[in-house]
Amino acid sequence: MRYQDRTEAGLRLAHRLAHLRGQDVVVLGLPRGGMPVAYEVAGELGAALDVLVVRRLGVPRQPELGFGAIGEAGVRVLDGDVVRRTGLGPAEQAAVERSERAELDRRTLRYRAGRAPVPVAGRAVVIVDDGLATGVTAEAACRVARALHAARVVLAVPVGAESTVTRLRGAADQVIALQRPPRLGSVGACYRDFAQVGDAQVTALLERAARAAPPAAPRLDPGAHGDVEVRVPAGHVRLAARLVVPEAAPAVVAFAHGTGSSRHSARNRYVAGVLNRAGLGTLLLDLLTADEEQNRHNVFDIRLLAQRLHAATLWLRHEKGLPVAYFGAGTGAAAALEAAAVPGADVVSIVSRGGRPDLATPAALAHVRAPTLLVVGSADPRVLSLNRLAADWMHCEHRIAVVPRATHLFPEPGTLSTVAEAARDWFTTHLPPTARRHAAARSAVATTVPDTGR
C-alpha cells in the first residue's frame, strides 16, 4: 500500500497508537520528513510535540553512504561494518562529525525558535519518522531519548524494512511499523507525494503544536507537602498514586483517570495544580496495576475501577482524616459515580471532565448524593449527548457545563484552564460546613501575613 502523503501516513499511524491516548506522552519527530507524520500523531493522541534532531554521518567520498549518526545530548552511533569496509580512520570520522554537529546545533536552534525543549524525563516518548531504511538515525534518536531519562521509548513509523525493525527492537522498548517489507529500496517509494520538507515547515508545525498544547501546571503553594509517590492498598494489590496535601487543606480530591491514562497525565496534573493552589489536596491514582492494564477488558470494568476508588477513599480518610471529592475523566467518571453511590461513601462532590457517566448503571446514577458537575466540550457532540442521557437519571444536585469550541481532550488554547477553574469553584463551593470554616480560616491567615518585601 502506498500512502497519499505524510499526513495520511501520520493519521494511520496515530490510529495504531490509540492505546496511548490520554497518557503522559511526548511525541518527538525526526526532521525533516518525520515532522509532518509526528504532527498528526501528536494531534490525534493529544500529546506534546517536539523535535529530536539527529544527523547522519556520511562517508566523505560517498556521502549517501552513512557510517553512523549523531544526536542531541552528545549521542553518537557508528555502523562498524561501514567503517571497516570503507577504511575510515578516526581523523576522518572526527572531521565529518564536527561538521554535522555544527549543522545539528544550527537546526536545533532554528526549529525551537527560543522555546525550551519539552521535558521527557520520566515520560513515555514516541519517536516518529516517515520511514526506516537503515535505521541508523532512528537508533541515535532512541539513544538520545534514553540519555534524557525517558521512562519508555516507542519508535513508530508508517513503513520500515523488516530487518531494520527487528534490529531496532534492541534500541527501543517497542518498535511499530505499519508496513514491514522484506526489502525496502527507498522510503519515498511508499508515498505518492514525497515532497521535500523544509526547515520553515518544521518550525511552523512546532509553533502550531505549541499553541494547542496543554498549559504548564501551576507551581504549588509553598505550604504544599511535596508531590509524593504513595502506594494505596486496594484488596490484593497496591495502586501507584501521587499525593499532594497543602497545609490546612479542607478536602482531598481523588482523580479517577480515563482509558489509557495514568497519574502522569499532563492534563490531570494541570488540573491538580490548580486545585492545590486553591488549598485542596489531590490524589492522582492509577486504578489498575501495570499488568492489569495489558488486559483491555479491565480498562472498561467500571465495577472493578469503582471498587478500587472506594478503597482509596477509605485509605485517604484513614491517613489524612479529610473529606474526599472525586474528579473523573473518561471511564474514570463512571467509576467515580459508581463509587459515590456505595452506601456510606459520603463523597462531598464530583467533577467529570469529558467523562462517560453513561457507563455507570442507572441505579448508581440515581443513588449518587454528591453534587456533580459534568464538564463537556461543545465540539464533542457524542459525549455531550451521553452526558445528558446520564444526567436524566440523576436526582442529586448536578449541572452540565459546556466549554465552547472544546473537543474531547480539551487541547484547544484556554479550554483546559476553563475546566480547571470550573472544577476548583465547584469543589470549594461544595465543601462540608466544617471544611468551609477551615478553608475560610486558612484564607484569612493568608491575607493577614505581612509583606516582608522578600
pLDDT in tens, 298-328: 888 999 999 999 999 999 999 999 999 999 9
Residue 279 vs residue 263, higher pLDDT:
279
Average pLDDT over residues 183-200: 91
User: How many percent of the chain have pLDDT more than 90?
Assistant: 55
CB–CB of 352/383 below 8 Å?
A: no
Q: What pLDDT does 454 receive?
A: 32
248 class by beta-carbon count within 10 Å (0-12 exposed, 13-18 middle, 19+ buried): middle
Of residues 343, 345, 344, 353, the one with CA closest to residue 374 = 353
| pLDDT band, very low/low/confident/very high, at 144 (cuts 50, 70, 90) | confident
pLDDT tens digits along 223-241: 445 578 899 999 899 999 9
Identity of the amino acid at 155: L
Task: Quote helix, strand, coil % in the chain, to nearest 5.
Answer: 45, 20, 35
Cα–Cα dist 170/152, whole Å: 13
**Higher pLDDT, residue 74 or 150:** 150
Taking the CB of residue 384, how many other CB atoms lie within 10 A of it?
18
**What is the reported pLDDT for 63?**
77
Measured CA to CA, the distance from residue 329 to residue 391 in angstroms comes to: 16
The whole model's pTM is what?
0.57
Domain assignments of the chain as residue spans, ordered by start: 6-212, 228-448
Question: What confidence category does residue 149 fall into, taking pLDDT thresholds of 50, 70 and 90?
Answer: confident
CATH T-level topology, domain 6-212: Rossmann fold (3.40.50)
- The values of phi and psi at residue 385, to 5°, are -65, -40
What whole-number distance in Å separates Cα of residue 379 and Cα of residue 403? 9
228-448 is classed in which CATH architecture?
A: 3-Layer(aba) Sandwich (3.40)
Largest CA distance in the chain: 80
Mean pLDDT, residues 276-289 taken together: 92
| Spatial distance between the Cα atoms of 158 and 335, rounded to a whole number of angstroms | 36
User: What is the predicted pLDDT for the residue at 450?
Assistant: 37
Specify the pLDDT at position 248. Answer: 87
Query: What is the rounded average pLDDT for all residues in the chain?
Result: 87
Q: Say what the pLDDT of residue 307 is.
A: 95
Model confidence pLDDT, tens digit, residues 26-47: 999 999 999 999 999 998 888 8
Instruction: Choose the weakest-confidence range: 99-103, 295-299, 366-370, 429-433.
Output: 295-299
| Fold equal for 6-212 and 228-448 | yes
User: Residue 159's pLDDT is what?
Assistant: 96
CB burial of residue 114 (10 Å; 0-12, 13-18, 19+): exposed
- Has residue 260 got a pLDDT over 80? no
